[in-house]
Amino acid sequence: MKIQSPTQLFMVEPAAFYTNIQTMDSNHYQSDDSNQSRAVILENAKKEFHKLKNEIEKNGIEVISCIGDENCPDHIFPNWFTTFSNKTMQIFSMKAKNRRTEKTPEMISLLKESYELTCDYSDFENKNIFLESTSSMVFDRVNKVAYIGLSPRTDKELAKQWCQDNSFEMVLFETTSHVGKPIYHSDVFMYVGTEMIGICIDVINEEYKEMVLEKVSRFHDVMIIDEEQILNFCGNSLEARNRQNEKFIIMSTKAFSSLSSIQIETLEKYFKKIIYSDLSSIEKYGGGSARCMLSELF
């Protein structure tokens, strides 16, 4: 049986965390930390990491975690690999040079204990061609559809190749962020659950809006997220299940607080519970939220 969401998640506890200047050119959601103590920022990020992990585990969802590398300021966001329900895994090309080192031999070896590595796209980094896993591509795993917003971190031709190699339908489009540039990752403005999709149509460029709305409506109910809610990381959410097959949606406190009462009622129809936790420091200095911190282990 095809499944949309896992019962196990992978997280990386940060050994370092601060504004990554190598990602700021494409990530318009992170803030400069030059006037802040990095020791305090790291301490806060660690607290937020553990609080989210504990909230997830309290609901019966298993979390496998590792300690990050001190030279990797974004290690808390493990979006350099993906796994599949046939127990295979793939590794992807990352734009920032200090993010490429997140692919540590230790973490890869740990994953290889459960998954066969079938493809490694890391060589594309030497050609300045990037496709950053399930951040660049939001998967409808059941129906084998990949929703892909183009950006400096998401190459059109490599995305096409990936979809052909993996027999996924490609839904390709362009976006514009609040600063007038492409949104760096597709998982910032949309997520796919078993029965519903949350998506911000307004950030999708006009010529693609109708097509994308038609595509997401084929197999799912659709909940529209507005542009202001994207700034609060409402789109950076993830569905996961516990061993009783109960479905949960995971997001940050900031995201949850920006939902309307109608949106909360909508989510409560599809999920056993909305799991949320404060990620304010991680969101501010990393420019990513709950979904970015979680990799699915199928």
For 8-297, the fitting CATH number among 3.30.390.10, 3.10.330.20, 3.10.20.30, 3.75.10.10 is 3.75.10.10
Residues 6 or more apart whose Cβ sits within 8 Å of residue 90: 81, 82, 84, 117, 118, 119, 120, 121, 133
- pLDDT, block means (10 residues), the chain with 298 residues: 95 97 92 92 98 98 98 97 98 98 98 98 98 98 98 98 98 97 98 98 98 98 98 98 98 98 98 98 98 98
- The answer, as to whether pTM is greater than 0.85, is yes
Query: Would you state the pLDDT for residue 224?
Result: 98
CA distance 17 to 76: 8
